[in-house]
Structure 1
C-alpha cells in the first residue's frame, strides 16, 4: 500500500535544524506506514546526508542529493514531487517543528474536501527577528525542541509569536478561497496539495534561482487549475528562527516577483512587483478588488478567445 502523504523537505547545510524537523516527524500521530519523508539536499557540505540516513530506522525516509549550483530549492522540491508515492504532498522547511497531529490534520482537510485543495498550515514564529527571535530561540532550547506539542499548545493559548499571516486570517475569517489572489499566503514552510495536481501544473518553476516567490508562483498556477485554498489551524507548526529577517528577504524576492509578473502577464500578477513595497500580503487582494481587476482565469480565457478569433480572421 502506498503512503497517504509524502513529506518533502528541501535543505542546505542545516543539519541541526533538519534534525529538529525529523524528530517532530517521528512523533506524528499518523502511523509510520501512512507517510514517507523525502529529504532533498541542495548540495550541502555538512553532515546532512549522514543525519538524514540515521533516521531510516524510525521513518520511511528517502534521501536525494543534487550538486551545489546555487539556489535551487524549486528543483529540489520538484525532485520530491517526482518521487512522491503519496496522494498528497506536504511541503515543509528545515527548522519547522510540526505538531504531532500536523500530518493527520493536512490529510483530514484533503479527505473532507469535495474537490482538490491546497492546505495552508499554521506557522508560529515565521518572520520573527531581532530580540524576539533571540527570545524565541531561548524558549525553544528550554524545552520547545524536546516537546513541540506542549510548546505549540502554550503559543496557541497565549497568542505569542502568532503566524505573521494572522491578520490576513482574521480579516477573512479563515475563508479566503474565493479571493482573487488566495495564493498570496501559500508559503511552503508548511503547506500541502494533491500530488497529481502538483504534477499536472508542472511543479515549481526551476528558473527561479533566488529566495522568495517560487511558492506564490506555484500557488497561482494551482489556482488557475481550479484548486481551492484553505487554512487548517490544526496543521500547526513552529518556525525556528534562523538567517536573515523577513523584511530583508522580501527585498531579495523583488527580482523574482518581477520575473513572475512578466511570465504570467495578467493584470493581477502585474501587481506582484509591488509586494514588499507599496503592497503587502494583507492589502494585495484589497487593491485587486479596489481596482476592479479581472479574475485571472477569466482574463486568460478572454485573451485566448480573442487570439483564436484573430487567427481565424487572418
Structure 2
C-alpha cells in the first residue's frame, strides 16, 4: 500500500470546467511532489464537461472524482464528501478558479507543522475583492503561463489585494489577538486538520444557499481549540467572475440569521445584525461586548 499523502486538496465545483482546469493545472506545478498530496474533485451536479476535465489530470495528479446529483446548492455536502474521503492529516480547501502559487501547499504544510495542536491556515488570495470589481485588472495582469510571476508582480505592486488586507491593516496579522478569527475563514483557499474537521462534524449541510457555511465551520473549529494562523506566503490568485453582489449578500444575511438561531451566542447575534458592508467592525464589536467563546 502506498504511503499516505501529506495533504488533501478538496475542490467543490459546479459547471466551471474551464476554471477547474486552470486550478488543476496549477496543482501540477506545485513544489510539493505530486506523490505527497492528493486531489479530490467533488462535482455538485454539473452538466458541462467537468468529469472529463477531472479525468484529463489523472495521469499527473493523484486525483479522485466524485459526483453528486444536482439538488440545488450543496457545496457544504460536496466538501464533506472530500473530508470523508481524505487519506491525509490536513485538508486544503480550494475553489475552482483559484490558482495556486507553486509554493502554496508547501506553505500550508509549514504553518501546520509550526503550530502546536490543530491549526486552521488562511492564505493570501490575490484578486479576491468580495465582488467583481477586480475582473478587468486581474485579466490584464494574469499570465497563465507565468502564474508565479503574475502573483509576485501583484505582490510587488500591491495590486488586486485580498479584501482581508483591510482586516489585517486594522487588527494585525496575529490572529491569536482577535476574538473571532473564524470570521475570515473563507474556503476559497484555506486548510485545517482532517481529524479536527471530522470531530466538529464538518460543514453544516443545512446551508443550501450562498454564504456562511465556511465561517460556520470556522466558528466550531475555534470553539474546539483550533489555532488560526495567517500565512502571507501561501499565495494564490482568484479569477474573479461576475456575480450579483447584492443578491449574494442577502443570501449570506439569511444564513447568518440561521447561525444566530443555531448557536444563540452573543457573537452570532452581532454577526446576524451587522450590515454586510460593515464586516470590518465585527471583531471590534465582539471584543468590546462579549466574552471569549
CA contact (8 A) 1:27 1:100 kept: yes
Q: Does 1:231 align with 2:230?
A: yes
List aligned pairs for 1:1-314, cutoff 5 A. 1-127=3-129, 129=131, 132-140=134-142, 143=143, 145-244=144-243, 246=245, 248-277=247-276, 279-280=278-279, 282-291=280-289, 293-296=290-293
Q: For this pair of structures, how many residues does the alignment match? A: 291
Inter-partner Cα distance in structure 2 for 1:131 and 1:232? 25
Residue deviations 1:57-97 (CA, integer Å, cap 9, x gap): 00000000000000000000000000000110000100000
Q: Quick one: distance in 2 between partners of 1:251 and 1:232? A: 30
* Counterpart-to-counterpart distance in 2, 1:277 and 1:80: 30
Q: Tell me the distance in 2 between the aligned counterparts of 1:97 and 1:246.
A: 22
Structure 1 CA distance, aligned partners of 2:126 and 2:169?
15
**Could you tell me how far 1:146 is from its partner in structure 2?**
1.9
Contact kept? 2:132, 2:241, Cα under 8 Å: no
- Check conservation: 2:120, 2:193, Cα contact below 8 A: yes
Name the SS for the 1:206 alignment partner.
coil
Distance apart, 1:148 and its partner CA? 1.1
Using the TM superposition, name which of 186-195 and 108-117 deviates more.
108-117
**For 2:239 and 2:246, how far apart are their aligned partners in 1?**
17
Take 1:134 and 1:245, find their aligned partners in 2: how far apart are those partners?
17
Distance (whole Å) between structure 2 residues aligned to residue 124 and residue 227 of structure 1: 25
| Counterparts of 2:119 and 2:133, CA distance in 1 | 37
CA contact (8 A) 1:127 1:245 kept: no
TM-score by structure 1 length?
Answer: 0.89
Q: Give structure 1 stretches of 5+ with no counterpart.
A: 297-314
Please, what TM-score do these two structures have when normalized by structure 2?
0.96
Separation in structure 2 between the aligned mates of residue 223 and residue 80 of structure 1, nearest angstrom: 21
Deviation at 1:245? 5.2
Residue pair 2:129, 2:161 contacting (<8 A) in 1 also: no
Counterpart contact for 2:132–2:242, Cα < 8 Å: no
| Distance 1:278-1:96 versus aligned 2 partners, 3 A rule | closer
* Bigger Rg, structure 1 or 2: 1
Q: Is the 8 A contact 2:34 2:61 kept in 1?
A: yes
Q: How many Å separate the matches in 2 of 1:243 and 1:263?
A: 32
Query: Can you give the 5+ residue segments of structure 2 that lack an aligned partner in the other structure?
Result: none
CA–CA distance in 1 between the matches of 2:33 and 2:132? Answer: 38
Cα distance, 1:287 vs. partner?
0.9
Q: Is the 8 A contact 1:124 1:162 kept in 2?
A: yes
Structure 1 pair 113–68 and aligned structure 2 pair: CA distance change class (3 A): same
Q: In structure 2, do the counterparts of structure 1 residues 125 and 201 end up closer, same or farther at CA, with 3 Å as the change threshold?
A: same
Q: CA deviation at 1:44?
A: 0.2
Deviation at 1:258, TM superposition (A): 0.5
Q: CA RMSD in A?
A: 1.4
